[in-house]
Structure formats: C-alpha cells, structure tokens
Amino acid sequence: MVDHAGDLADRVWRRYDRKERLIRYAVLLVTLMVVYWAVRDIDIFWPWVWDAPTQISRLGARMWPPDPSRLGQIVGAMIETVHIATLATLLTIFIALPVSYIAAQNTTPNRFCLWLGRFILVSSRSVNTIIWALLFVAIFGPGVLAGILAIMFRSIGFIGKLMGEAIEEIDRRPVEAMEATGASKLKVIAYAVVPQVMPAFFAIVILRWDINIRESTVLGLVGAGGIGVLLQGSIDTFAWPTVATILIAIIALVLIGEAITGLLRSKVL
Amino acid sequence: MLEISKLVKRYGRDEPVLKELDLVVEGNSVVSIVGASGAGKSTMLRCINRLVEPTSGSIKLNGQELVNLRGAALRRARRKIGMVFQGFNLIDRLTVMENVLAGRLGYVSLYQAISRRYPQADIERAFTLMERVGIAHYANKRADALSGGERQRVGVVRALMQEPEVLLADEPTASLDPRTSEQIMKLLQSLASELSLPVLINIHNVAQAKAYTERIVGLRHGKMIFDGTPADFTREALDAIYGGIEAPDEDEGEDTKKPALATRKEVTDDPL
C-alpha cells in the first residue's frame, strides 16, 4: 500500500518533453526575429504614417459629395465589368472540366495526362489575375478581350482544381455498376461521374463568378477593360468626387452579386 | 451455360485468391456460393464480368471465351452479364427510371444515353420489369429516396434490363434486414425460372442459401471444397467451409474463426 502511494507521487506528466519544448521556444524566437527583420527592412517613412488621419479626412473632404454627373458612363462600365466576369466564367468551364478530368487521380487516362493536368492547374493558379491581364494587354492591346482572357486563365486553375477534387471524392460503386453493364467510357462518365459532381460543379462555378466580378473591377487599372479604366482615369485627373461615385458603385455591384449568388445557391443546391 | 476452368487470380505477389477454380453452371440453375470473408467469392464473380482481371484460366459464357476480350468486344460481352451488388451501386441523384434504363447503356448510342431518349421498347421493358418487382410507381422518384429493399429491386431490374444470359449477385442481401433479404432471395429465385437464367449468388447467410437455391458451392482459401444440393450441405460441410466451429482448438487463424461464429449466429437467429 505504502509502495503504491510512493509510485503515485513519482508519476509526473508533461505534455511536452525537453526536446519538444526546446523546439517550440526556437520556433517562437525565429518568428519574432523574422518579424523584427521585416519591419526593419521595409523602411516605413513614419511621419507619413502619423500624418495618415489628416490625409484621410482631406481625401474624404475632396471626395464629398460624390459627383453623379457621369453616372450613365459608370453604369455602362459596370455592365461591361459584369460581362467580362460572366463570359470569362462560362468560357473557363469548357477548358477547366477536361483539365480537371485528366488531373483527377481516379479518372486520368495515364501518368502523363495527370502531370499535364496538374501543371496546367498549378501554373494557372500561381499567376495573379492582374499579372495575366498585364500579359494579355501586351499581347492583344488594351480592352475587354485582354480582361476576359486574364480572368479565364486565373479561373481555369481554380475551377479545375476544385472540380478535380470533387471527381476524386466520388463513390466508385456506381462507376463499377455502369462498367458492368457494358457501357463505354463516355457513358460511364455521363451516368456515374457527372451526376455525382453536379452539386459541387454549380457551387464552384457560382463562387468563381462571384470572385470574378470582384477581380474584373480592378482589371481596368492595367487597361484590361471594365470599371477600373474609369477609376484609373478619374484618379489620374484628380476627379475625386467621380472616384467616390465609382467606389460606391463597385460596393453596390459586389453586394448585388453577393445577393444573386446567394439566391442561386439556395435555388440550385 | 457458364464454364469456369482453372481460374487463378493473384493480387500482386501475394498468395493467389483463387487457386485453379473449376465451376460449371448450366441452364437456369440458381447457385449460391458460400465461404468466409476473403475466401474469394467476390473475386470470382468479378472475374466473370472482368471487373477484376483474372491472372489465368478460362471463363466461357455460352461457348464464348471471356478472359482474353478487350475494348468493344469486352463491352459487348458484359452486356450479357447482369450484376447485382451488395451496396446496390445505384446513382443516387438520378431517378429510378434513369437507373433502370442505365442497364441499356451497352446497347444505346451515347446521344441516346445523354439525352435520355431510349427506344420505346426499352421503356416498355423497364415498366414491365418494374411492375414485376413492384417498383413501377417509383419511376420518377430519385433513387436515394427509396428504402434498402426497394433500392435492391432497382438494382435487380437494372441488371435484367441488359437481357443477360447470366446474372451475378454479390452478397445482394448483406445490406438488408432479414425480412427484406428473404424477399430479394425469393425474387432472384423466381426471376431465374421465369427468364430461364442461370444465377450465381454470393451469400453469407447459409440458411437462405439452403432455402432459395438448388446448388451450393463452398469456397475456402480460393478452392472449391463443397459442391452439392442443400440436402447434402451438412454441419460437416459448414464446418469445413467456415473452419473450426465445433473444435475451437483446431489449428486455425483468428480471422477464419470470427466470420464462422458470425455465420453461426445468423443461422440460429434466422426466422426460418
């Protein structure tokens, strides 16, 4: 009995042993050092930071009241922005679906296709829309076409990657059953794969359309069409009341987009 | 007539799952295949329609060799082999009718399949078969809205839509409650005689195998160790197939004992 009590007293429990604790302190130290290094290195001009509140109030004063005189033009550019997003999303589907099919482990025809598909997805996703836009403005000149292509090239990676994951998660049993009926590959896809990924497909496309509307509002900054062209022009000419109207219009557009996608989601899914 | 001879299946470099299996099923006989989990029942059925590639051996359906078929020829052969699955394997988001018509996929064109414009004869056949098994009123319901027994009926009708020359059923009742699984077994039994169709049923429930089939084949470790009528299927045969029930000290691995006990329980619990 006495021995038992002694054993109990000796039992010490620690969540982390000495080595683990050392590692945790080291990680913390390294993080702090990186933050210190970054803040030191980026060379912030502190007087401007302290001056910011004054600048904000002055900019606000210059913007107020918003100037609605160019509202017609702004609405036109807004509609163009939505068109860019919609067309780009629709066109993306045609490219992203085949890519997702070959990039999914369980449907890819062979290793080469798998890596090709993954390469397309990764390269699409690793380049930002604005960079794609700069590229296409250089190739096709400024305008809506460059904007549509830029949005498309970024969306292929997004839709393709998520659809590929949806395909990888399907239940294999219906596929097996369709193969057993003597159905060809395409029929197996049409009956066993497509119905299973349909909900994911709609959710992903609606989400991407929503994102694309936001992204296409800034495309104009690099000359790729949409509301951004007007915004850039107004900033360059110091037409601050017009800038204010455009910003309000963008917020309104994003809210409308949000409402529409919310409605679509509840109806379709 | 289905003739399997010297069928071998080996996964990778492991011990073969099927060891030179021979089996002949004639005419419209209903054969049940019993055996512990891992005995090779499922592998054998899937070798017949080539969902699993046999390593060697021969499988002939009405004189046609199935083992060396590829591509379009394999798909044409598969049309004549209906299969019913343990998990029903329906497409949940499609309607019952679409699931049933999917049994015709080997016959219709891709356009007909995608646009759902099946020939009128197929639709008639679908309704006739669905009425036969009592699911016609569900035609436009989604497959996942049905109960287990109803779903398995859809699975059976889908297989019959293929106008099969042989029907394979891989544990068709294992996911169902006892009453429903009896109904499905009765259905398979009567359909076999109505359509004069040979039926191979993998089954764990020995009582049902005895009650609804006219021939029982026992597999153990990839070899056939019993082949006879239900009357021949004695306690000794059961022991031989499922391993040391009466003699637990017999030198058997744990894995073979467990399924054996489970089966024994099913037998005693069965309302028959």
ipTM higher than the 0.85 cut: no
- Distance, in angstroms, between B68 CA and closest chain A CA? 16
- Interchain pair A182, B158: CB under 8 A: no
Domain B2-242 coded CATH 3.40.50.300: yes
Contact A268, A201 (CB under 8 A): no
Which residues, 6 or more positions from A164, have their beta carbon under 8 angstroms from its beta carbon? A99, A100, A101, A103, A104, A117, A121
Model confidence pLDDT, tens digit, residues B138-189: 999 999 999 988 999 999 999 999 999 999 999 999 888 888 889 899 999 9
Question: What is the extent of the structural domain holding A95?
Answer: 72-268
Tokens, residue B244: 């040391």
Domain membership of residue A223 (yes or no) is yes
Tokens, residue B114: 């995608």
Q: Cα separation of B241 and B224, whole Å? A: 9
Closest alpha carbon within chain B to A172 = B89
Contact B95, B158 (CB under 8 A): no
Predicted model pTM: 0.78
Q: Cα separation of B153 and B155, whole Å? A: 5
The amino acid sitting at A245 is T
- Interchain pair A179, B110: CB under 8 A: no
Q: Cα separation of B233 and B210, whole Å? A: 8
Contact A50, A199 (CB under 8 A): no
- Distance, in angstroms, between B221 CA and closest chain A CA? 25
Ordered by start, the domain boundaries in chain B are: 2-242
| A39 shares its domain with A156 | no
Which H or E element spans position B64? strand B64-65
Q: Cα separation of A217 and B33, whole Å? A: 66
| A32 shares its domain with A98 | no
Contact A215, A151 (CB under 8 A): yes
| A188 shares its domain with A121 | yes
How buried is residue B104: exposed, middle or buried, by Cβ count under 10 Å (0-12/13-18/19+)? buried
Q: How many domains does chain A have?
A: 2
What residues of chain A have any CB closer than 8 angstroms to a CB in chain B?
173-174, 176-184, 186-188, 190-192, 195-196, 198-199
| A85 shares its domain with A124 | yes
Domain membership of residue A13 (yes or no) is yes
pLDDT in tens, chain A (269 residues): 555 655 666 778 888 888 999 999 999 999 999 999 998 888 888 888 999 999 999 988 988 888 888 888 889 989 999 999 999 999 999 999 999 999 999 888 899 999 999 999 999 999 999 999 999 999 999 889 999 999 999 999 999 999 999 999 999 999 999 999 999 999 999 999 999 999 999 999 999 999 999 898 888 888 888 888 888 888 899 889 999 999 999 999 989 988 998 898 888 76
Maximum distance among all alpha carbons in chain A?
A: 93
